[in-house]
A and B are shown apart, each in its own frame.
Chain A
Amino acid sequence: MLAALRRRWLREKLTDPRYAGLFDEVDGEYVSLDCETTSLNVRDAELLAIGAVRIVGHRVLTSTAFSVLVRPDKRPDAGSVKVHGLRARDVEAGLAPADALYALLDFVGGRPLVGYYLEYDLAVLGRYLKPLIGIGLPNRAIEISARYYDYKTRRQAGAHVDLSWHALLADLGVPALPRHDALNDATTAALAYQALAARGYG
């Protein structure tokens, strides 16, 4: 009920009618999403890379994955370079932020989103999107860490659940790709989502 209200409200705030399709939820398909940014502060973090991959049934469609580098207005700070390995010169060849985001919108369409600590990614993306289309991504968001928490506590109420990425993947038996590459992280998250879905927590 509240979700429906929120969606109706967002739909009214959408300034670009070309993206009305974001509100038409696609059945049986998902997009796993991950961003690399200049810092971990939502308010001033700048996008460096976006990776996204569709999930359809048993498949993670890596053959048609979305992977772009974004040219930031500010240089990546030294601390974040250590995490994502994207130096100023690496992202110089990237797309302008608006181009990258319009392309992402086309890629995502009405599919629900899947991610690990997706809230952060959505907040950063939202900051970029609002000037463009009036709203952030309105799609239903499935938080992997939350679904994993449900899965663990449903099996053993009150248990301590290690929500770290590493522990979660090891427990679900998902093979991990090298971290902090946006597409790799999105792909691993997609597999983790499928492992959760197979356990009834999709």
Chain B
Amino acid sequence: MSGGFALTSPPFDALSPAERERLEAAADLVYYADEDEILGPEARVDTLYVLIKGRVREMAGDETVAAYQAGDTFDARALVAGRTAHRFVCHEEAVAHALPRDAVLALTETNPQFGAFFFARVSEKLARLAARAGRRELQTLLAATVRELGVREALFLDAADTVVDAARAMKTRSLHSVLVRRGDAVGIFTSSDFRDVVLDGLPGDTPLAARARFELIAVDADAHLFDALLTMTRHDVRRVVVTERGRPLGVLEQVDLLSFFSTHSHLIAERIDRAGTLDALADAAGQIPLLVGHLVDAGVKAPHLARLVQALNARLFARTWQLVAPPAVAAASSLIVLGSEGRGEQILRTDQDNALLYREGDGVDAAAVAQAAAAFSAALDGFGYPRCPGRVMVDNPEWRGTPAAWRDRLYRWMTQPDDEALMRLAIFLDAETVAGDAAPLAELKRYLDALRRDDDALLARFARALERFDTPGLIAQLLQENAPLDLKKAGIFPIVHGCRALAFEHGIDAANTFERLDALVAQHALERELARDLAEALSLLMGLRLRAGLAATEHGRTADTVVIPARLNALERDLLKEALAVVRRFKALLRHHFRLGAF
């Protein structure tokens, strides 16, 4: 055993006593003096360290990006990769467990909960944490088995069949994969294998045997959905083969899993669409927070949840507008949501952020629209969506108008960009149409894009808001117990605004940050690796904010965005540190890109 020091901190608390004993038996102890380098880019990473005493800092170049203290583990990511770009330096005389890579990786294979810590993306790690914390009872969603969800029947082809045969079969049957028989062995051939076939310049008559993979990643039909999700995550695949007593039965697609998690929302959506009065709508609206609570418990990731809530809110707002606006006004107008609601990144209810675009004529004039707008804002207020303190609402004449009026407004914001105008611009860039014709908004965004092309300096002024808040490396928080961290200011806003500025620069009209990241990668405006890290970081921060918000509302407080890092457990702190390190990297890149130092 590891010199008698027990391995009890997360994730090792997920190990069985026998597993822990085996791991401890394989462990050494290490001692480092101040400023000794423990891990660095030059050496292979074959050890996972768990601090018993002392402190270690993680350096990216000259910048400290994270700090570790007793009970903390470093560095899971480096261990899996076998290398690290960062240097881990002893900050204060450190004693640590040194766990051999092979033993740790072997445990990730045999103990899924422990494995999740290493293979799960940051966001899934959070879901695992929630599950382990057992904050509330295990939900039926997690307890459901693969069989209960229903499995897509697999289509079997022969190993001698060609890739063209497979393509034809997959097209007619709308499948993403086929199973391939070769004697007794069964392999899988998926749509992404086609990509490689094309890339490798293979002919269409290439037999499937040459390309199918015969090491199946499988789950049993009676496995829990959660295990299936974990298996997909761990192997980074979109589908797994479902087996029964070792025999392939069918294929489980990740998209089926995720949609299963969201089907519970269909009931609410139907109630919204059927509601004939504002009272009936208020009832349906009241279901949304309950659904959020259930899905959080079920381990659904914050970004998925946010898109779901956005879709429900959009239907709610649209139905409300239909009920309060006279038919002529409804027909001539487009209702727009803005800010985080527009981006689809809002989960708990926050202020109303909305706007209106309308055509005059046919009995529609400013007065009629104003009346309907006032009724709309009041109705939402009644549903529990508070009025926006900044008055970014349809009942404010500055946030409604004809396309011509909106053009004047946008022109003014772009040409006289004071802080107020830049803030409004940022809010407007996240706009999405939820009711009525989407074309007028799209037209306005194109107009904005054209204006932006004429003014390079504007982008830098626009991006400068990034500097408004500092993103700490968490060192200060660790040293100073109970210091709070504002997730929104330190992490969420820099990612969102940075992506917004880059999307603006590249004429990307997506409003959702994850979609903006994808589009930026597609345009080679952002490294794929960084975009993935940012998506993970945002996902984590949204999850932490959601939990902080839920906890606050449970205690009757308004949802806020503040966490106390010292009160998070070692794993959560580890994740938060990683996320903030990514944010700092992104800010440094943007500072350079937009030449923010020049101001």
Which A residues have a C-beta under 8 Å from some C-beta of B?
A: 53, 58-63, 65, 173-175, 177-178, 181, 183-184, 187, 190-191, 194-195, 198
Contact = CB atoms under 8 A, between A and B. Distances in A.
Nearest to A53: B3
B165 interface: no
B201 interface: no
B407 interface: no
30 contacts: A58-B30, A58-B32, A58-B36, A59-B28, A59-B29, A59-B98, A60-B3, A60-B28, A60-B29, A60-B31, A61-B28, A62-B1, A62-B2, A62-B27, A62-B28, A63-B28, A173-B54, A173-B93, A174-B95, A175-B52, A177-B3, A177-B5, A183-B3, A184-B3, A187-B4, A187-B29, A190-B29, A191-B29, A191-B31, A198-B33
Given A173-B53, A177-B5, 10 more contacts: A59-B28, A59-B29, A59-B98, A60-B31, A62-B2, A184-B4, A187-B3, A191-B29, A194-B31, A195-B31
B25 interface: yes
Contacts of A195: 31, 93
A170 to B, nearest CB: 12
Contacts of A175: 5, 52-53, 95
A53 to B, nearest CB: 7
Interface string B26-44: 1111111100100000000
Interface string B521-547: 000000000000000000000000000
Contact of A177 (B4, B27, B31): B4
Query: A-B pairs with the 6 shortest C-beta distances?
Result: A198-B33, A194-B31, A187-B3, A62-B3, A60-B29, A177-B4
A102 B5 CA distance: 29
Contacts of A173: 53-54, 93
Interface string B72-108: 0000000000000000000001010010100000000
A43 B521 CA distance: 78
A151 B353 CA distance: 68
B55 to A, nearest CB: 12
A154 to B, nearest CB: 17
B162 to A, nearest CB: 53
A62 B100 CA distance: 12
Contacts of A59: 28-30, 98
A183 B4 CA distance: 9
Contacts of B33: 198
A11 B27 CA distance: 36
Contacts of A53: 3
Contacts of A191: 29, 31, 95
Nearest to B98: A59
A58 B31 contact: yes
Contact of B4 (A58, A61, A174, A181): A181
Contacts of B1: 62
Contact of A63 (B5, B25, B95): B25
B280 to A, nearest CB: 64
A65 B2 CA distance: 9
Which interface residue of A63, A65, A177, A187 has the most chain B CB atoms within 10 A? A63
Contacts of B100: 63
Nearest to A172: B93
A181 B28 CA distance: 18
Nearest to B36: A58
A66 B65 CA distance: 40
A61 B2 CA distance: 9
Contacts of B25: 63
Contacts of A187: 3-4, 29
